[in-house]
Each structure stands twice: as C-alpha cells, then as structure tokens.
A = this chain, B = another copy of it.
Amino acid sequence: METAVDLPDDALYNIAAVERDTGLSKDTLRVWERRYGFPAPVRDQHDERLYSTGQLEKLRLLRLLIDYGHRPGKIINQSNAELAQLIASRAPEQTPPADIAALLDLLTSHDADGFRNALLQALMKQGLLRFVTETVAALNHWIGEAWIAGKIAVFDEHLYSEHVQNILRNAIIAQPGRGSAPRVLLTSLPGEKHRIGLLMVEAVLIAEGGACVALGTETPVIDIKNAVPAYRADVVALSFSSAFTQNAALAGLSELRTLLPDSIEVWGGGGALARARKAPAGTLLLRSFDDMRYALERWRVERAQR
C-alpha cells in the first residue's frame, strides 16, 4: 500500500491556507512563530507569510501529537523525523487487521469498483451495526494513520469518503419504518465538516430503532435551536471531530444547553471530546458508540417511567 504522495516541494501556502489545512488558527500560527521560532515562513513582497510544504507537514504532525496530549513547547523544535518517530512509538501495533488491510489495498491501488464491492460485501455480511462500528470505524482509524505516514493520496481519501457516504446513505434510506422515540436531531456546528462521523451515528441510531433527523454538517446553533420544536426532537446530538479543539466543542455544547429547554437532552461525541474530563452541566458526553446505545436505552427507560 505504498503510495508516493506527489506534493510539489516548492509550493507555498499563505496563512489562511495553512489555517484551513492544519486547523491551527492564524493567531496561534503567529504566536508560535513569535515564541518558539517555528514556523518561520518566508515573506512575499508585502511581508505576508508564505509557508513551505515541509512546514505544513510538520504543523500537521504537531497538531496530531498535541491532540494526543503532548504540549507544543516541548515538541515544537524537534525535526519532522523525530516527530514521526514519536507518533510511530505511540502505536505499537503497526499493521491493520487483514480484512481492513485488504480494503486499504483496494483503495490505494485505485480500484474504485473493487473497493465499492468489498464494502458492500462487508455490509451484507456484518449487518449495518457491525459494519459501522467495526469496519468503518477501523477504516477511519487506519486511513488516518496512513495519512500521517504519507502513504495515502489526497484523492484516494476523497474517494473513500464518497464511497462510504454512498453506502451508508444507501443503508439509511433502505431502513424501513420511522423508528421510535427518542427522536434525535443530529448535526455538527459551523467549522465541523466531517460528514462520515455523522452518517455513522445516524446509521447506528437507525439500527437501534431510533428516529433521526439529520441536518448534515455546520448548522449554526440558533438554527439548531429553532429546528428542535419544528421537528419535535427529544435529543440534540452533535459530532465534533478532532478538527475541532476541545474547548470549542465544550463551548458549543454549553451554548446549546442554555438555549434549549431542560426537557431536551444535549449529547456530544467525537474525537475532540474523547479526552474531555467532564461534560458541561446538563449535557452528556458519548465516548463510544456503545455509550450512545446506553444513552438511548437510558432515555427510553426514564421516559417510560413518567
């Protein structure tokens, strides 16, 4: 599954592009440069920053390590190779299980039809719930690893996302009936663009017999608030990938909590919240799909008692 990623080595990126590609704010990029001396981009004729491909690469590695609990000041002056080493040492198991490796091979050999068929076959064999919680979750993880290792091309990742969306949405629409309570309104806040996570949640909800109103990504809080009565939702569930910072995710959950009546539950999950210690008052953190299934069950028991 070796894929040379063909990045032009001489490409230069302005600060907005780097913010978009790394998730680090412009303010953060400037203050790192001031404090730590990295990144030290060259300047154009108007003194505006231009970041190199190597700097962008290192910033991605730093972002990943920081998400895993390292602190910027401790690691920012290490070389790309040392950082990659640090990442590698974090995961002792180096190779994915055979079934996942087979799927990755199809993807990185650009066999779109083969990849699609293999995914469909896995879905048939496992059923929706296991397909999502095992195969898709593992694929997400290992594609992330391959991405860090530079072993997967950007366009293969795009193709992966498209095919998984096709299959999940196909499964979602194929599900008969309307589902029973609770009715969960599912979306993400502005800035959170990852759709796969949302679709996985939707699929699990439906497989558990729940009713789901999916609004896609990036719904402003106010609009979520207005959607709740319109769709008579019982629960609002938000997904935060690790593209979000933990603080931003917690702040979003809190804001939504203050806007909604107490009778509506607020759930949050995803990579950005995986390390969060405690949930904002009146909200629920879901750290796994099992957590979500328990939350669903708990809701049903509690409401049945009333």
Q: Quick check: is A294 within 8 A (CB to CB) of the other chain?
A: no
Complex CA distance for A169 and B223, rounded to whole angstroms:
26
Q: Quick check: is A101 within 8 A (CB to CB) of the other chain?
A: no
Interface string of A176-193 (1 = CB under 8 A from B): 001000000001011100
Q: Which B residues are CB-close (under 8 A) to A110? A: 230-231
Among A35-43, A87-95, A156-164, the one that faces the other chain is A156-164
Majority SS of interface residues in chain A? Answer: helix
Give A154's nearest chain B residue, CB to CB.
B223
Q: Quick check: is A153 within 8 A (CB to CB) of the other chain?
A: yes
Q: What distance in Å separates the Cβ of A228 from its nearest Cβ neighbour in chain B?
A: 9
Whether the Cβ atoms of B162 and A173 lie closer than 8 Å is no
User: Of B11, B113, B220, which is within 8 A of A178 by CB?
Assistant: B113
Whether the Cβ atoms of B190 and A154 lie closer than 8 Å is no
Q: In the complex where A170-B170, A178-B113, A216-B161 touch, is A153 in contact with B226 (Cβ < 8 A)? A: yes
Q: Which B residues are CB-close (under 8 A) to A276? A: none
Give A259's nearest chain B residue, CB to CB.
B8
Q: Which B residues are CB-close (under 8 A) to A11? A: 222, 258
Q: What distance in Å separates the Cβ of A226 from its nearest Cβ neighbour in chain B?
A: 5
- The listed residue with most B CB atoms (<10 A of its CB), out of A189, A214, A255, A258, is A214
Whether the Cβ atoms of A226 and B6 lie closer than 8 Å is yes
**Chain A positions near chain B (C-beta within 8 angstroms):** 3, 5-8, 11, 16-17, 20-23, 56, 60, 110, 112-113, 116, 120, 153-156, 158-159, 161-162, 165-167, 169-170, 172-174, 178, 187, 189-191, 213-216, 219-227, 230-231, 248, 251-252, 255, 258-259
- Please name 4 further chain A to chain B contacts, defined as beta carbons within 8 Å, in addition to the given A155-B219, A158-B187, sorted by A numbering: A8-B258, A20-B220, A158-B223, A170-B170
A-B contact pairs, 10 of them (CB 8 A): A20-B252, A23-B190, A60-B222, A116-B173, A154-B226, A155-B227, A155-B231, A156-B230, A158-B219, A162-B215
